[in-house]
Amino acid sequence: MAYDSNNIFAKILRGEIPCEKVYENDYALAFKDIAPQAPVHTLVIPKGAYVSFDDFSTNASDVEIAGYIRAIGVVAREAGVVESGYRILSNIGEDGGQEVPHLHVHIFGGRRLGTMVKPANKS
């Protein structure tokens, strides 16, 4: 999947589309999901034009990687879900269900989340 500079997250980063920001540093922006799946459902995106973790880990600088990962930790702490537990999810590629071609992590928390992936049907 190629990076599309007109994807919704690129537009949010450029200020063309508003978001409910919860955290920002030099390398990441975190905002509330518009269709939350849990009491805490926050998206954390890197500020650089990266499609996936493969793209990010290959092409981002060490400073960008550290700044992004630290932002995920800060957002979880500030959301108050560290003690009770939370889930980090990133859909990558077509089989992974990625809809926006910009790397992003979902942070879910605030309730028991249940099974992560259902077992595959055996034929």
Residue 41 annotated in active site: no
Mean pLDDT by 10 residues, the chain (123 residues): 92 98 98 97 98 97 98 98 97 94 97 80 63
58 phi and psi, to 5 degrees? Answer: -85, -40
CA dihedral 112, 113, 116, 118 (to 10 degrees): 90
Model confidence pTM above 0.75: yes
* Domain parsing of the chain, residue ranges: 8-109
Q: Which CATH number fits domain 8-109: 3.90.45.10, 3.30.428.10, 3.40.50.10880, 3.30.420.40?
A: 3.30.428.10
Q: What is the pLDDT of residue 123?
A: 57
Q: Which of 41, 102, 104, 106 is catalytic?
A: 104
The pair of structure tokens assigned to 47 is 């500020």
Q: How far apart are CA 15 and CA 29, in angstroms?
A: 12
